[in-house]
Structure 1
Amino acid sequence: MTIPAPSQADLDRAIAMASRHGWPAELHGAGVAELAAALGVLRRAETGESVTNAVLLTAHDQLHAQVPRQLGDSSMRRLAEFLVARGVVPKPSDYEGRWWLWWPKNGRGPCRDCGKTRFLNRYSARWGDEYRYLCARCRSAERQHIGQQAGRLLDMQGSRESTSTPVPATFAPPIEAPAGSMIVPTPASRDWESYAIRLEELLGALDWAGFDLPEEWDTDFDPQEGAMLFATLWRGDGGLEVQYNPHQQTLALQPFDDVTGDWPESYSLLEDSIEIPVAPVGEQAATAVAAAAGQAGLLDATHVRVADSAPPEAKQEFTLRRIRRIFQPAAAFRQLPLTDLLRETTENEWLNAYLEWVVGMTGWDVAPDIVPDAAALGIAAWCWRNNTAVEDHHLESDVLMARVNIAVTRITQQHVCPVEGIDWDSIKNALTDPQWALPDGTPVCSLFGPGWTEVAATVTAELDRWRHLDHEVLGPQTTLILMSIGGSTSYTDSWWGQGRWISICRRVIDDATAAGLPLPPPYDQRGPEALLADLDAPDEVPAPVLDWLIDLPDAGVHGPRGLRMRHVTRPPQRCWDPYWLTDDNP
C-alpha cells in the first residue's frame, strides 16, 4: 500500500521538525520524506478528506519502521488516535509488543466486544489477557466473567496445586474462632472481583473528578475483619489512601504519607481520615461517598501551596513543574518543543492576559489537573459572566443573576468531557438560543431586554475565541486544565456546581440557626434538612429563599454571613512540604 505524496507544505514542516531536533539537512534523508508523507495523511484526515484505514495504517507503520522516534513519535500517536476511532487496533505482538507505549490510553471508537461507538479505555494485560479497548459496560461484563472463571478454576483446583493457569492469590484459611465471635469465610475469586466492581462504583464521583483509579487493587484478608481492598489514588501530585472493607461495610479515605520517599513531589489531599458506611448494593452508598468527598474538597480542583520553610529553589521548581504540567499536553498536541509553545502563548496578547491574571494571580495555587465540573464553572465565569456584556446589562437583582449563572453552569456541564474535551459549538448554540429558559419558563433573552443582542454577540465572540485556542493552539487537555483553574478562583467560590456546594450551604444554615435566625418560609416550618435538600437545585427554590442564602438579611452587622461573605466558601488549601531540603533536615 502506498500513501499519497506530501505537499510542499508537508515537506517544509517535516524539515522544520527535523531541524528543531538537531538533525542537519544532509542527514535528513528518507526519514524526513516518510515524515512528510505521514504529515500529509494526518492533514487530510484532520481536515475531513477521505482517508482509508489502510492508508492511515501504512503511514503509521512507515513512521515506525523508518523515522527516528524523536521525529515520528507524536505523528504516530496522532495516527494511532485516528485508527482507534475506526476500530483498528494492533495485535499483542505487533511492533515488538510495545505499541501500547504510544497508542492512546482512551478515546472514542467502536468497542472491541460490543462494536458500538463509545468512550473507550485501553486495558492492560491481566491474567494473560491482551491489551484491548473496551467501553465501560463491556469492561464491567469482562470483570464479572473473569471473576466467575477464576472462581470455577479455584473450585476445580481443590486440593491440587496448579501453576499452569494464573489465578488470583489465595488467602489464609479460617481460624478457630473464640467463643461468641464470628469467622468470615475466605472469599472466592469471584467475590474479590465483585468487591472491586462495587468499590469502583462507590468511587465514581472521584473518578469523574480526575482521580486515577488503579487497574488492580491491593488486597488483604483477616478471618475476623474480612476482606480489604486498598490503594493510593492520585490526581496529579496529590494523593490519598482508599481502604474498602466490604464485610465491615465501610470505606475509608485517608491521608497519604510518603513514608518511603518514593514520591518527593507528592502531597496529601487529606489531613484527617474519613470513614463512610457503605451498603454492599444500591446507589445511596455512592451518593454518601460523593457527599463526603465533596465536603472534603476532593471533587473540586486542588489548591496547594509550598511550605514557607521550603528553600527558594524548591519553590521555583514547584512553579516550573506546574507550568510544564499545564502546557506539556499542548506541546504534544502541536508537535512543538515546550519552549516554542510557551513563546507562542506569550505572544498571544489575549491569552497571555488570561494566563497572567487568572492562572498566575487569582488561581495561583490551583493544581493543573483536569476537573470537568471545575472546567464547566470556568467557562461560565470567563465566557459568560466576565469578558462579555453580561455585567454591562446586570439584571435587576443578584438573585436573578444567580439563577442565570446556575442555568449557564448546567449547560456547560453537559458539554465538558475529560476524554473528548469541550464542545464549544454546542455550548454556544445553547447559550444563544432564544428558547433557552430558566426552570420557571422565563426565556433568558427576555431578562436582558434590548441588551440581549450585545450579550449574545460578546458571549459568542468569547466562546469562538476559546474554540480557536482549543483547536489550533492549546489542544483539549491544556484547555481543560486552564478552564479548571479558571473555575477554581475566588470568582466562583460561592457558585453552585462545585463539589463543596452542599457542605457550604449546610454551614450557612447551621450558622443562621445557631444565631437564632428564622429560616425563610416555607422552611421555617419544614426545617433545615428540607432546605438543604432543596438547595441541591437552588435555581428552583423561591426567590426569597435564594436571597436569604446569599446575604442572611436578618443577621445584622455583626451576625453570621451568607454565601456572599462567609469565609467557609474558600476552598481548603493543601501544602507541599519538601522537608528533606530544609537546613535542619538531618
Structure 2
Amino acid sequence: MTELATALGVLRRAETGQSIADNVLQAAHDLLYEQVPRHLGDSSMRRLAELLVGRGVTPRPGDYEGQWWLWWPKSGQGPCRDCGKTRSLTRYSARFGHEYRYLCARCRSTERQRIADQADRLRYMPVPQTGLHPANTPAPAVSSHPIETGPANSTAVAVPRPSRRDWETYTTRLEELLAALEWAGFDLPQEWDSDFDQQQGALLFATLCRGDGHVDVEYQPHQGTLALEPFDDVTGEWPDSYSLLKNSIDIPVAVSGEQAVTAVEAAAGDAGLLDATHVLVADTAPPEAKQEFALRRVRRIFQPAANFRELPLADLLREVTGIEWLSAYLDWVVGMDGRDVAPDIVPDAAALGVAAWCWRNNTAVEDHHLDTDVLMARVNIAVTRITQQHICPVEGIDWDSIKNALMDPQWALADGTPVHRLFGPGWTEVAATVTAELDRWRQLDHEVLGPETTLILMSIGGSTSYTDSWWGQGRWRSICRRIINDATTAGLPLPPPYDQHGPDALLADLDAPDHVPDPVLDWLIDPPRVGDHRPRGLRMHHATRPHRHCWDPYWLSDNPS
C-alpha cells in the first residue's frame, strides 16, 4: 500500500498542474506495475499512462511483458511518433507485421498509402508455381491483407480477380449498407481488411465499435451477403470491450438500390444496434472493477464538456453538481433509471430524450393531459419527428429551431389538427413551460456542457423505461411485429382494414403510426381481450424492454475462464 500511496501522490500532483518530470511520472506507473496487485492499481496505471502518452512517452512493443496495451489508452492527445507534432492520437495494433504504435490521423494516412504502394509492387511480382496467388491490391480505403487462396475447383467458375476500381466500388457500397449503423454512433473504419478467393470472391471485414461495444462485420459482394457477427477479443486488444451480439445475423444484400440498405437497417434495428446500448457489469466482477466501470462512465460523459470549457474534469463536475435542476436530472435519469445506458451519442435516442424531458416531463403537458392515450401518442410522435430534424451528431442540438417549430401556430398532427388547439386554454401554460425547458437546456449546452456531452445526456434520457414503447427507436418495427404475432397467435383478429390486408401490411404502415386510424393505434397500445386472455400491447409487452449486455472483466476475476 506504500507503493500505491506513493504513485497516487505523483498522480495527484500531476493532475493538479504541478510540474512533474517525465521520468518521475513513468517511475510511478512502473511502481504500480511491479508492486501493486493489478485490480488495485489498474485505474491509476491507466491514468498515468494517459498522461505519459500526452507527453510522448510510450512503451516499446516488448515492455511490460508485451501486455501494456491492456491498460494504455486507445486514443489520446500528444506528440505523434512519426511527425512529432502534438495532435489527436490513436493506438494502432500489432497486425500485419507492425508494432503497437500511436499515430496521428495524417501519419496513419501516410502509412496506409505506403502499405498500398507496397501492395502495388507485390501485385506485379511473378506468380509462384505452387498454385497460390499473390495478394490482390486493395483500394486505398481497404487495408493491405495477404491473400492466398488454393487452386480453383476444376468444375467451378472462378470469380474474376477484382481491380482497384472494383475494390473501391465494394467499399462504397458497404458504407452505404451500414449508413444506419454509422448514424447510430458506430465508427466505420478508415480502412477495411480484405481477402479474395476464386470460388467465394471478395471479402471485406472489420470490427465496428461504439464506445466499448463491438460487433464484427463481413461483406461478400460476390455472394450478395452481409453478416453482423458477435465480437470476440481473441487478441486481448480491447480489455474493456463486450460484444453487442450473441448470434450472427446474415442479411441478403444482392439487390441494388435502397432495398438492401433498408434490409440491413431493419436487421440492425431488430438486434438493438440502432438504439443506445444497455450494459451492466457482471455480478462476478470484483468491486474495484465495478467502481472503475462507473468512473469511466462519468469520464466519458463529462470529459467532452471539460474539453469544451478547457477546464479540469474535477472543476467541471463541481460546477455541474452545483446546478440544482441538472443535478436532479443526473441523479434520476442518468444515475437511476438510465444507470445501465452506455454514454454514447445516438441521435435518434437523443431526439427521444428531448421529446421526453423537454416536452412530456418537467412541463405542464401532463397537467393538461389530452382525452385519450392515442391522442397523446400522436402528439409525442409529432414532437419526436421535429426533434429528429434538428439533431446532428457533430453539430449537436439546434434548440432554437426545435422551439420555433413546437411553438409555430401552424404545427399540426398528420390529420391537419393544430396541436395548440388540442390543449385549448391550457396551451398558454404548456407553451410557456416547454419554452422555458428548451431555453435552459440551450443555455446549459452553449455555456456549460457543450454539444457532445449534451447529446450524450439526451441519448441517455431517451433510452430509459419511460420511452421504451415510444416510436422513434430502432427496435420499433421489431416491437410491433412481436405484438402483432402474439395477438394473432392468441386468436385476436387484426383491426380493420388489416383484417383484410394482413399483418405484413399493418407492420409496414406502423412505420408511420401517426398515419393509421385511431382504432388501429389504440389496438396496438392495448389489444382487446380474447376470452379470458388479453394479449399485451405497447403498454405492457416485454418486447419493449431493451437488449441488455454484460461487461465481464474476466482478467480481474479470481477464477478466469
TM (norm. structure 2) is 0.77
1:539 aligns with one of 514, 529, 549: 514
Q: Secondary structure at the match of 2:356?
A: helix
Alpha-carbon distance, 1:280 to partner: 5.8
Which of 218, 225, 229 is the aligned partner of 1:254? 229
Q: Which residue type is aligned with residue 345 of structure 1?
A: V
RMSD: 3.3
Structure-1 separation of matches of 2:474 and 2:267: 10
Contact 1:175 1:183 in 2 (8 A): no
Change (3 A) 1:517 1:329: same
Superposition TM-score, scaled by structure 1 size: 0.74
Question: Is the Cα contact below 8 Å between 1:174 and 1:186 reproduced in 2?
Answer: no
Matched, 1:187 2:162: yes
Structure-to-structure mapping, 1:41-190, within 5 angstroms: 97=83, 101=87, 126=109, 169=144, 176-190=151-165
Note if 1:391 corresponds to 2:377: no
Shift of 1:177: 3.5
Equivalent of 1:454, from 425, 429, 433?
Answer: 429
Residue 414 of structure 1 corresponds to 389
Which residue of structure 2 aligns with residue 302 of structure 1?
A: 277
Q: Residue type of the partner of 1:503?
A: S
1:405 partnered with 2:401: no
Matched position secondary structure for 1:496: coil
Asked if structure 1 preserves the Cα contact closer than 8 Å seen for 2:223 and 2:254, the reply is: no
**How many Å separate the matches in 2 of 1:450 and 1:418?**
37
**Counterpart in the other structure of 1:437:** 412
Which residue matches 1:486? 461
Shift of 1:180: 3.0
Q: Conserved in 1, the CA contact under 8 Å of 2:488 and 2:494?
A: yes
| Number of positions where the alignment pairs a residue of Structure 1 with one of Structure 2 | 468
Q: CA offset at residue 156 of structure 1?
A: 11
Q: Is this contact kept in 1: 2:343–2:456, CA < 8 A?
A: yes
User: 1:497, 1:154 → 2: CA distance?
Assistant: 50
Counterpart check, 1:264 vs 2:244: no
Q: 1-side partners of 2:382 and 2:86: how far apart?
A: 41
Match of 1:423 among 398, 402, 405: 398
For 1:529, give the aligned amino acid: D
SS in 1 for 2:185: coil
Say if 2:374 and 2:522, in contact at 8 Å, map to a contact too. yes
Write out aligned runs for 1:461-480 (5 A).
461-480=436-455
**Which residue pairs with 1:43 in the alignment?**
none
Which deviates more from structure 2 when the two are superposed, residues 406-415 or residues 254-263? 254-263
One-letter identity of the residue aligned with 1:404: V
Distance 1:344 1:555 in 2: 56
* TM-fit CA distance, 1:585: 2.4
1:276 aligns with 2:251: yes
Residue 556 of structure 1, CA deviation: 5.9
Deviation at 1:178, TM superposition (A): 3.0
Contact kept? 1:295, 1:499, Cα under 8 Å: yes
List alignment gaps of at least 5 residues for structure 2.
1-13, 21-52, 56-79, 90-104, 128-133
**Selected match of 1:549 from 496, 520, 524:** 524
Q: Which amino acid aligns with 1:341?
A: L
CA deviations 1:251-292 (Å, max 9, x no partner) are 000001111222111100001000000026311111000000
Contact 1:174 1:185 in 2 (8 A): no
Q: Which amino acid aligns with 1:533?
A: A
Of 319, 326, 331, which residue of structure 1 is paired with 2:294? 319
Q: 1:227 aligns with which of 202, 221, 229?
A: 202
Following the alignment from structure 2 to structure 1, what is the Cα–Cα distance between the partners of residues 315 and 161? 58
Query: Contact between 1:150 and 1:189, CA under 8 Å: does it hold in 2?
Result: no
The residue type paired with residue 384 of structure 2 is: T
Instruction: Tell me, yes or no, if structure 1 residue 569 matches structure 2 residue 555.
Output: no
Contact 2:149 2:196 in 1 (8 A): no
Paired residue secondary structure (1:101): strand
> What is the CA–CA distance in structure 1 between the aligned matches of 2:524 and 2:107, rounded to whole Å?
49
CA distance in 1, matches of 2:458, 2:392: 12
Matched, 1:21 2:24: no
**1:504 maps to what in 2?**
479
The aligned amino acid for 1:331 is: A
Distance in 2 (CA, whole Å) between partners of 1:101 and 1:579 is 34
* Distance in 2 separating the partners of 1:513 and 1:530: 14
Shift in CA distance, 556/317, structure 1 to aligned 2, threshold 3 Å: farther
**Pairing partner for 1:351 from 320, 323, 326:** 326
Cross-structure match for 1:333: 308
Write the deviation string for residues 481-503 of structure 1: whole angstroms up to 9, x where unpaired.
Answer: 00000000000000000000001
SS for the counterpart of 1:519 is coil
Aligned equivalent of 2:174: 199
Q: Could you say what secondary structure the match of 1:571 adopts? A: coil
The CA deviation at 1:559 is 2.6
- Deviation for aligned residue 1:582: 1.5
Matched AA of 1:338: L
- Residues 278 and 546, structure 2, Cα contact 8 Å, conserved in 1: yes
Separation in 2 of the partners of 1:202 and 1:340?
43
Larger displacement relative to structure 2 (442-451 or 337-346): 337-346
The question of whether the paired residues in 2 share the 8 Å contact of 1:256 and 1:268 is answered with yes
Question: Residue type of the partner of 1:21?
Answer: G
Report the residue type matching 2:406 in the other structure.
L
Deviation of the 1:405 alpha carbon: 0.1
Aligned-residue offset at 1:477: 0.3
1:374-394 Cα shifts (integer Å, max 9, x gaps): 000000000000000000000
| Alpha carbons of structure 1 residues 154 and 403: separation in structure 2 relative to 1, 3 Å | farther
Closer, same or farther in 2 for the Cα pair 1:558/1:350, shift >3 Å? Answer: same
Structure 1: runs of 5+ lacking an equivalent: 1-17, 25-68, 72-93, 104-121, 131-146
| Matching residue of 1:13 | none
Deviation at 1:98, TM superposition (A): 5.5
Per the alignment, do residues 486 and 553 of structure 1 end up closer, same or farther by CA in structure 2, a change over 3 Å counting? same
* Structure 1 residue 171: Cα displacement: 6.8
The 5 Å alignment of 1:199-218 reads 199-218=174-193
Q: Matches of 1:467 and 1:99 in 2, distance apart?
A: 36
1:523 is aligned, of 486, 494, 498, to 498
Q: What is the identity percentage for the equivalent residue pairs of Structure 1 and Structure 2?
A: 71
Give the drift of 1:23: 7.0
**Counterparts of 2:559 and 2:118 in 1: how far apart (Å)?**
53
CA drift of 1:209 comes to 0.2
Q: Secondary structure at the match of 2:506?
A: helix
- Please name the residue that 2:25 is paired with: none
The amino acid of 1:554's aligned partner reads R
Q: Distance in 1 between matches of 2:149 and 2:228?
A: 28
Give the whole-Å Cα distance in 2 for the aligned partners of 1:99 and 1:235: 28
